[in-house]
Amino acid sequence: MSKILPEGKYIDLSAGMRLHYHDLGSGYPVLFLQGSGSGASGWSNFQYNAPAFVEAGYRALLIDLPGYGYSSKPTDVVYSTDYFVGYIHEFLEAIGVDRLAIVGNSLGGALALGFALKYPQQAEKLILMAPGGIEEKADYFKMPGMAIMKEVFMGGATSRETLAEFIRKGLVYDPSDATDELIDQRWEIFQLQNDTVIKTMDVPNVTERLGEIQCPVLVFWGINDNMMPETGILKLAKGLKNMRMEIVSECGHWFMIEHTALFNKTSLEFLADK
C-alpha cells in the first residue's frame, strides 16, 4: 500500500516498542506530542507547524505515540500517562536530548503536563492546546465530540465518510479546515489502529498538581471546542504559576490547524522570550 503520510525514522525501545518519529532541523529541541483519536499521528497533527519551527532555528521532533501512526500498537498493555511518558523519556534519552520544550494538544497536552511533573529539570517550556488530564474521564465523554470519537474508534468508522463526519463535527469549528488531504491521511492511519489504546487509556486528573509545574506555559484554547470541557480554561489559569493563554472564538479543538499562522507566530515568540 502506498503511503500518504511520509515515513520518518524508527527507533527500537524497551519491551519491543518500535517508535516512529520525524527529526527535522537542528538547534534547540522542541518535541511535538499528538492528540488521541481516530487516525491520529504526529505528522497529521503538526505538519503545518513543524516547518515554521525549523525555519526559526529549532529542531522539531514529531513522534507517533505508542498505539498510533506507524509506531507499535501492543494489545496487552494499559495506555496510561505513565506508560506514554515512560516511552517519551526513553526516546529522548536514546537520541541524546536532555532539555527541551514540549508542544502537546489534547492527549499530547496531558502527556506534556505529566512529563513536566515527572521530569521538571528537562521540560523547560510547555505549549499546550486544550490539554487533557485536567478533568475526570466521565466528564470528557460527556462532550459531544468525544462521544463521537469513542463510537468511531470502537468500530463505527466503517468508511472514510464516517471518519470525515467525526473530524468535521468534533474537531474543527469550520468544516472546511478538515481538508480532504487531512482526512485521507487519518483514514490511512486508522486502518493500522486497534481499539486497545482507547479502551484502556488511563489519564488521571492532575489539576491539584498544576502548581508544581514551574516552567513557563503557553496555552491555546478554541472557545468552540467540542472535545474538552471549557472548565479547563480556569483550572489552567488558576493552577499554573507561570502561564499565558490565547483564547480564540470560532475555533474548535485543532487550534494549530484552524489558526496555523497565529499558533506558529505566538509559539515562536514564546520560545524566543527569555
Q: Is 253 a catalytic residue?
A: yes
CA distance 23 to 18: 15
Quickly count: other Cβ atoms within 10 Å of residue 98's Cβ.
10
Question: Rounded to the nearest 5°, which phi and psi values hold at 155?
Answer: 115, 0
Question: Rounded to the nearest 5°, which phi and psi values hold at 77?
Answer: -130, 165
For the chain, the distance separating the N- and C-terminal CA atoms, rounded to the nearest angstrom, is 46
Residue 7 is classified by DSSP as P
Mean pLDDT within 201-224: 97
Mean pLDDT within 65-86: 98
Give the start-to-end residue ranges of the domains of the chain. Answer: 9-272
Q: What crossing angle do the helices spanning 81-95 and 107-118 adopt, rounded to 10°?
A: 70
| pLDDT the model gives residue 149 | 74
Q: Express as a percent the part of the chain with pLDDT over 90.
A: 84
Active-site option among 20, 22, 89, 253: 253
Q: What is the pLDDT of residues 81-123, one digit of tens each?
A: 999 999 999 999 999 999 999 999 999 999 999 999 999 999 9
Q: What is the mean pLDDT of the chain?
A: 94
| pLDDT the model gives residue 47 | 97
The verdict on domain 9-272 having CATH code 3.40.50.1820 is yes
| pLDDT the model gives residue 274 | 79
| pLDDT the model gives residue 155 | 61
Q: What is the pLDDT of residues 3-38, one digit of tens each?
A: 789 999 999 999 999 999 999 999 999 999 999 988
Beta strands in the chain (DSSP E): 9-12, 18-24, 28-33, 58-63, 100-105, 123-129, 217-222, 243-248
Q: Which of 124, 130, 116, 125 is nearest to 209 (CA)?
A: 116
Q: What is the pLDDT of residues 149-202, one digit of tens each?
A: 777 766 655 688 888 988 998 999 999 999 999 999 999 998 998 889 988 999
Task: Provide the pLDDT confidence category of residue 135 given band limits of 50, 70 and 90.
Answer: very high
Q: Which three cell numbers stand for residue 86?
A: 515512560
